[in-house]
Amino acid sequence: MKRKILAALLASTMILSLVGCGGNGGAASTDDGAAATTDEAAPAADDAAAPAADDAAAPAAEGEETLTVWCWDPAFNLNAMYEAEKVYQKDHPNFKLNVVETPWDDIQTKVTTAATSGDLSTLPDIFLMQDNAFQKNVISFPDVCADLTNSGIDFSQFAAGKTAYSVIDGKNYGVPFDNGAVVACYRTDYLEQAGLTVDDFTDITFDQYLENGKKVLEATGKPLISMQAGECDLIMMMMQSAGASLFNEDGTANIVGNDTLKVVMETYKKLKDEGVLVEVNSWDEYVGSIVSGDVAGTINGCWIMASIQTAEDQSGNWAITNMPSLVGVSGATNYSNNGGSSWAVTTNCKDQALAADFLASTFAGSTELYDNILPSGALATWAPAGDSDAYGAPSDFFGGDAVSAKIVDFSTKVPSNITGVYYYEARNAVATAITNYINGADIDAEMQTAADTVNFNMGQ
């Protein structure tokens, strides 16, 4: 079985670079977890401070406490690490970080290579891992990531749904970072033409969403939402909103007989058939449909707000609220997640206590840090950050609403789900199933085919 899992992981390394957690282009993507939720521009990262991805760890001078970190996106993740370094240095003046810019697909490849070769010495002290790949890596390579359960980090202060991505067999292996809480975004000027407000879309069901969408479509000619054809981001968001998964606790596929998945597929098709949802061909077309005003809104991870805010002429005409809930599904909520990442400490780290204390004092313990990185779009899932003045500041673009604090609150209500080793294979199988179902295929037959595909991959 271990060899089968390894083969799947090696194949998924290539898939991850193309698929990621959601969109693979545009101003923001779920891979980056970026969410520009303020009206300030993201600051440029200090290029001189970021060594090339192939640089070796810098030697520490005498008395220095140095940790090497791998992460991607200079203006977002690297910037957050530099700010964390400054915060920690106030009480630890000898502390330094060697932050190495490393694309996510390169990190996955390096981790896979190190683990399969049995030589973990090539790994850094800390690296950033996409949430949806966390369980895959820890289960497949149990020697790579350090157990942080008793490290002094208070995981109870993070959103439970976010923390669950890096919990395996009851143990914590990751420190949650950026927020992928789902938001429903709406053009308030379009809603007004239909006699509606954002309140009419708050705490609603998908049945109510459909009816409101028909009103908006009739009044403006605009669908409520667009989605990229052949992808299943919305499907997965709807699933998690009810705490449902494509896998069981024991790792077996949970597709055939999954009543929640069936409701989700039927709901998606109904939205499309009624014209409330329109499919586009690419990520760029998806973002373009939003910022050009071709649709009245979107539902996605909060990072999508960065792309929305590129339409500066629409400032003041947008609002956010929670997503609709599924009808007739046990455990249905108005909250979900799409995208995001967490920090892992490797077993190669020579001072795991230092690494844990650094993370506990910054990403798991510093309101100052989260205030400092908020302008770059780094939104916390660490609940205490939402109480700060910076998070409570109004956003002119989103109608004066304190959207940052609202999103942190959303993240605390997201149900957890199971990703497992074959998450991306299951996503792709379900994406094919929903496409075929929309085009007239039998839903039960498509769910069976999807399950057969996943089971085949798991059996390799």
Domain range annotation of the chain: 2-180+339-404, 182-336+422-459
pLDDT of residue 339: 87
Query: Helix (H) and strand (E) counts for the chain?
Result: 16, 12
CA-to-CA distance for 117 and 421, rounded, in angstroms? 20
Which residues in 199-283 belong to E strands, given as ranges? 225-228, 277-280
Q: pLDDT tens digits, residue range 382-402?
A: 999 999 999 999 999 999 999
User: In the predicted model, what is the mean pLDDT of residues 67-71?
Assistant: 98
Give the β-pairing of 182-187 and 297-301: antiparallel
Q: How high does pLDDT run on average in the chain?
A: 88
pLDDT of residue 419: 87
3-class secondary structure, 261: helix
pLDDT of residue 393: 95
pLDDT of residue 460: 60
Is the CATH number of domain 182-336+422-459 3.40.190.10? Answer: yes
User: In the predicted model, what is the mean pLDDT of residues 220-227?
Assistant: 98
pLDDT of residue 447: 98
Q: pLDDT tens digits, residue range 246-280?
A: 999 899 999 999 999 999 999 999 999 999 999 99
Q: Is the pLDDT of residue 25 over 60?
A: no
Q: Is the pLDDT of residue 65 over 80?
A: yes
Q: pLDDT tens digits, residue range 102-142?
A: 999 999 999 999 999 999 999 999 999 999 999 999 999 99
User: In the predicted model, what is the mean pLDDT of residues 341-360?
Assistant: 97
Right CATH number for 2-180+339-404 from 3.30.56.10, 3.40.50.1950, 3.40.190.10, 1.10.10.60? 3.40.190.10
Q: pTM of the prediction?
A: 0.81
User: In the predicted model, what is the mean pLDDT of residues 217-245?
Assistant: 96
pLDDT of residue 306: 86
- Tell me the two tokens of residue 302: 């909060």
| Amino acid occupying residue 129 | M
Q: Is the pLDDT of residue 51 over 90?
A: no
The phi, psi pair for 320, rounded to 5°, reads -125, 155
> How sure is the predictor about 63, in pLDDT bands with cuts at 50, 70 and 90?
low
- Tell me the two tokens of residue 168: 């395996």
Portion of the chain with pLDDT greater than 90, in percent: 78
* Cα Rg, the chain, nearest whole Å: 22
Q: Rounded to an integer, what is the distance from CA 93 to the centroid of its chain? A: 33
- Tell me the two tokens of residue 406: 């609202």
> How sure is the predictor about 344, in pLDDT bands with cuts at 50, 70 and 90?
very high
Q: pLDDT tens digits, residue range 167-194?
A: 999 999 999 999 899 999 999 999 999 9
Q: In what order do the strands lie in the sheet with 126-130?
A: 95-101, 65-71, 126-130, 341-345, 175-176
Find the length of the chain. Answer: 460
Q: pLDDT tens digits, residue range 297-317?
A: 999 999 999 899 999 999 999
Q: Is the pLDDT of residue 196 over 50?
A: yes
3-class secondary structure, 100: strand
